[in-house]
Structure 1
Amino acid sequence: MSITINLYYIGRDGQAQQFVQAMEESGIADAIRQEPGNERYEYFQPLDRPDTVLLIDQWSDQQALDAHHASAMMEQLAQLRERFDLHMQVQRFTELPDETADAQFIRS
């Protein structure tokens, strides 16, 4: 059962976007994408919230997520969040085992 976490990084004066740039340029984001159990690590910008960046962070299971949280990269990530003075809002979702339940509502 996959776990998806939506992290909203909220800053001022472009700080959230600068954080994402630092994550990508430093290689931290790519390293996280390579961790066992990582299924998605992708940034987006909400159109109605210019000082916010959304990270969709998906893991295969809780064990993979726990290993990620225990990794050395988390300290680097925390330092960058502090450097750019970001605040966060978090949503957590678990994937339903039967993905066909909503198939009639999805246009491919």
Structure 2
Amino acid sequence: MFNLHVFYTAKDKATLDRFYDEVRAAGIIEATHEEEGNIRYEYYFCAARDNEILIVEQWKDRASQEYHDSLPHLVTLGEIKQKYGIETVIEEVR
């Protein structure tokens, strides 16, 4: 199993909310849930910092997650992140 914590940080809560709304409308979360090898892909809003989202990703293996990164809906996600100036930190969880 391969696990990641991905932190998205926006300049403020309003920007983060608009970002998340656009991600949902684009169907990125649902498309990821349907991918071969995906076990978990969930967004959590931070209670302490209202401009941050934690994504918990769990994959069958590293290859499944790497393939995920090449798919069209992840290209769209990258464009949406750029539009809203979202900073990203990725941590592998062992």
The TM-score, its normalising length taken from structure 1, stands at 0.79
SS in structure 2 of the partner of residue 63 of structure 1: helix
How many pairs does the alignment contain? 93
In structure 2, stretches of 5+ residues that fail to align are none
User: How many angstroms does 1:10 deviate by?
Assistant: 0.4
Contact 1:41/1:57, CA 8 A, preserved across alignment: yes
In structure 1, stretches of 5+ residues that fail to align are 95-108
The TM-score, its normalising length taken from structure 2, stands at 0.90
Higher RCO, 1 or 2 (CA under 8 Å, sep at least 6)?
2
Distance between the aligned counterparts of 2:29 and 2:64, measured in 1?
A: 16
Distance between the aligned counterparts of 1:6 and 1:18, measured in 2?
A: 21
- Residue type at the aligned position of 1:45: F
User: How many angstroms does 1:13 deviate by?
Assistant: 2.6
Distance between the aligned counterparts of 2:31 and 2:68, measured in 1?
A: 11
User: How many angstroms does 1:81 deviate by?
Assistant: 0.3
SS in structure 2 of the partner of residue 64 of structure 1: helix
Matched, 1:54 2:54: yes
- Residue type at the aligned position of 2:44: F
Name the % identity. Answer: 22
Contact 2:10/2:52, CA 8 A, preserved across alignment: yes
User: How many angstroms does 1:40 deviate by?
Assistant: 0.8
SS in structure 2 of the partner of residue 55 of structure 1: strand
Contact 1:7/1:56, CA 8 A, preserved across alignment: yes
SS in structure 2 of the partner of residue 4 of structure 1: strand
User: How many angstroms does 1:17 deviate by?
Assistant: 2.6
